[in-house]
Structure 1
Amino acid sequence: MSSDSNHNQNQYTPPKVWTWNPDNGGEWASINRPTAGSRHQQKLPIGKHPFQLYSLATPNGQKVTIMLEELLALGHKGAEYDAHLIKIGDGDQFGSDFVHINPNSKIPALMDHSDDLKDKPQRVFESGAILLYLSEKFDALLPKEHSKRTEALSWLFWQMGSAPYIGGGFGHFYKYAPYPMEYPIDRFTMEAKRQLDVLDKHLANNEYMADDEYSIADIAILPWYGNLVLGNAYDAVEFLEANSYKNLLRWAKQIEDREAVKRGRIVNRTWGEDNEQLHERHSAADIDHKLKDN
């Protein structure tokens, strides 16, 4: 008998009007609500650098710290940043200051306090928008040639639209749901494998997502799909037969070895080995100190 049958899921009939059950939702039930807005007063810290990042090292959070480290590696000193920890399990993302930056209450959230914005700092939310904002501000990590630029942006927006099926779909039901449910696991596994195949086929003929140029498209896709096939997310390598996606694995390992990627992915991380955790970053030395122990 399936897990669904054991929990009488086959007998469920949606009510005429949905009502919220705060106890239903698995590991994240304590913070999920069907309403937006702040839940408590909160004053966020502001460091000394141009960029103030409020985040956690989830895949979306890793995108931005990797991007900032890539910019610094390219010599863009104006990309210096403070990375402040937002504990989403504690509901920090629902504090008043955070909601002012991101009304959607999701990490990452960025404030640009650069000299040209001193009178009115710029907020940026949504990880894809942050990558594009930083790319345009520093004229970096986005191809100049029109066709390659278009390709990079197409893959960036593909990632933003597709990844919820991986995180909120496959990852949630395979890893975090209160109990195994056959139908949603089958449904989202099929979609996850289809997306992995999309990437694998594209990377059979391309070194990076935009032909031979490393870009914000690669930075966006790595923390979701690279981490998935490398075994850094959901413990699903065997279940998904991740080793069969040879081109995707080649690409993921190639990018994983970049120094800026190694630096960025540990920022705002609060789990794993101690030398893989850097709760907050306020200078390059903070990362240097952690990586020297590897």
Structure 2
Amino acid sequence: MIDLYYWTTPNGHKVTMFLEETGLPYKLIPVNIAKGQQFEPDFLKIAPNNRIPAMVDHQAAEGEGPLALFESGAILLYLAEKTGQFLPQGLRERHETLQWLFWQMGGLGPMAGQNHHFATYATEKLPYAIQRYVGETGRLYGVLNKQLADREFVAGEHYSIADMASYPWIVPHERQQQNLDDFPHLKRWFQAIAQRPATQRAYARAQEINTQPTVHDEEARKILFGQNAATVR
């Protein structure tokens, strides 16, 4: 059994998409990041960076007790290796997949996240910051669109953890001020993944957990955006 410490963010959706595709048994453990549950001591033992998702696999292959992991990319890679699914075994195909997984982790996710922050959540609207991150989000959409011009999925002809990593960050494209009609290959890919039954089940699980915006009051803003070195516990 896998315990998935989860909240309804793009990084959380990545892991439920994988688990729903494979049918691995798992239990969702909500961590309400707007209420500061990510700072609770038991959670920090698993995820010292106080971010979701995090995971405990109670049936790790080595048989040395439960295995705890944090960081969504590391979790996807672990689960792909555990199951032998959604990560090609051939040298070239495997590393094609991994480089696009890391591209999402290092580029699309952080830049889109800053886009969300400055355009949606920041109380002071800074035109330079908004233009910077909306523009960089658009550039990354363009990179992904170009990659998808001659292939069905991000890393080739097979659905992989590279697709699962990027898809949830495209879901809020309107909030990111991006028009998918400007990126026809990306739009085709996005619609295909949205129609997958496992994707639909994963997002249905999110509705079981949370139907409210993550940032809905001043206290939540302080918790989410008021962290510094002094808040590390």
- TM-score (norm: length of structure 2): 0.85
Q: 271, 282, 285: which one pairs with 2:211?
A: 271
1:196 paired residue number: 141
Which whole-Å CA distance do the structure 1 matches of 2:83 and 2:47 have between them?
Answer: 23
**1:265, distance to aligned residue in structure 2 (A):** 1.9
Q: Secondary structure at the match of 1:240?
A: coil
1:164 paired residue number: 110
Which whole-Å CA distance do the structure 2 matches of 1:54 and 1:257 have between them?
Answer: 25
Q: Secondary structure at the match of 2:27?
A: strand
More helix by share: 2
Structure 1, gaps ≥5 residues long: 1-49, 73-78, 273-294
Give the aligned CA root-mean-square deviation in angstroms: 1.5
Which whole-Å CA distance do the structure 2 matches of 1:164 and 1:191 have between them?
Answer: 10
**1:147, distance to aligned residue in structure 2 (A):** 1.3
Please give the per-residue CA displacement for 1:166-208, whole angstroms capped at 9, x wherever unaligned.
11x1111111110321010111111111000000111111110
1:122-271 alignment runs, 5 A limit: 122-162=67-107, 163-167=109-113, 169-225=114-170, 227-229=171-173, 231=174, 234=175, 236=176, 239-269=177-207, 270-271=210-211
Shift in alpha-carbon separation, 1:254–1:195, aligned structure 2, 3 A: same
Which whole-Å CA distance do the structure 2 matches of 1:161 and 1:115 have between them?
Answer: 27
1:53 paired residue number: 4
Please give the per-residue CA displacement for 1:15-45, whole angstroms capped at 9, x wherever unaligned.
xxxxxxxxxxxxxxxxxxxxxxxxxxxxxxx
Over the matched positions of the two proteins, sequence identity in percent amounts to: 41
- TM-score (norm: length of structure 1): 0.68
Of structures 1 and 2, the larger Rg is shown by 1
1:85–1:268 Cα contact (<8 Å) kept: no
**1:133, distance to aligned residue in structure 2 (A):** 0.3
- After TM superposition, what 4+ stretches of structure 1 lie above 6 angstroms from structure 2? none
Structure 2, gaps ≥5 residues long: 213-233
**1:157, distance to aligned residue in structure 2 (A):** 0.3
**1:86, distance to aligned residue in structure 2 (A):** 0.8
Count the aligned residue pairs.
Answer: 209
Q: Secondary structure at the match of 1:266?
A: helix
**1:118, distance to aligned residue in structure 2 (A):** 6.3
1:207–1:251 Cα contact (<8 Å) kept: yes
2:59–2:65 Cα contact (<8 Å) kept: no
The one-letter amino acid of 2:76's match is L
Which whole-Å CA distance do the structure 2 matches of 1:116 and 1:211 have between them?
Answer: 29
